[in-house]
Amino acid sequence: MIPFIQKGGIIMIPILLCSVLALAIFVERLIRFSRMRHRGAGLAEKIAGLLKDGNGEGAKRIAGESNSPMGRVLAQAMAVWDREREILETVIVNAIDEEVRGLSSYLQCLATIGNLAPLLGLLGTVMGLIKAFMVIQEMGGKVNAAVLAGGIWEAMLTTAFGLAVALPTIVAHSYLLGRVDEYEARLQTGAVTFIKNITDK
C-alpha cells in the first residue's frame, strides 16, 4: 500500500487524514451508542408513578442516576410537570431536540468526509494527468503506450483511494443516522408515556 500511496502524490495525504477522521468518529459514536443501549428503559412509567404518589425528590433522583437521554428529558419535564400541558409538551420537545443534537454530534462531519474524499481523489487524478501530459509535451509527443499508461494509472490512484474512503464513510453515516432516529423515536415514545401517566393527576 505504501508504494501506491507514494505514487498517488501529495493529495493522498488529505485523503488518508479523512479516512482516519472518519474511522475515529464512527468508533466513538458506536461506543457511545452501545453504552446507552438499555439506559432509560421503563424510566418514564417509574418516574410518572413517583410523581403521582407525591415523591418528586425520588423521581428527580432516579432521573439523575439513570445517566441517559430519557432521564435528562424527564428531569426537564419534571420542572413543569404540574403546569399547563402545552408548557410541559414544549419543554419535552425542546429537551428531546437537545438530546438528538447531542446524539448527532460529528455526523455532519462524517457526511462531509463522504462527499469530500472522492472530490479530493478527482483533484489528484486531474493534477496527475496534467503532469503526465506535460511530460509527453516535453518529449515532443514521442512516447510509447507503456509510458503513457503508466502515467495515467498513477494519476488515477487518488480517485480509487478517494472512493475507497467515501463508500464506507457514507455507509457508516447512514447506519449512525439510523441509530439516532431509533433513539429519537424511543425518547418520543417515553415522553408520550410520561404525559399519559400524569394526565390524570
Report the distance separating Cα 195 and Cα 192, nearest Å: 5
Q: Would you state the pLDDT for residue 201?
A: 46
More confidently predicted of 161 and 79: 161
The x, y and z cell numbers of residue 102, run together, are 447531542
Distance CA(59)–CA(70), nearest Å, equals 13
Which residues form the domain of 134?
Answer: 2-199
Name the domain count of the chain: 1
Confidence of residue 147 (pLDDT cuts 50, 70, 90): low
Give pLDDT tens digits for 83-103.
Answer: 888 888 899 899 999 999 988
pLDDT per position as a tens digit, 100-133: 998 898 999 999 999 999 999 999 888 888 877 7
Q: Which three cell numbers stand for residue 176?
A: 449512525
Q: Which pLDDT tens digit goes with each residue over 36-53?
A: 776 766 777 788 777 777
Grid-cell match 404540574, residue found:
82
pTM, rounded to two decimals: 0.80
User: What long-range pairs does 183-187 form, CB within 8 A, spacing at least 24?
Assistant: 183/33, 183/36, 183/69, 183/99, 183/100, 183/103, 184/96, 184/100, 184/103, 186/40, 186/70, 187/69, 187/70, 187/73, 187/96, 187/99, 187/100
Task: Kindly report, residue by residue over 59-75, the tens digit of the pLDDT.
Answer: 778 877 777 888 888 88
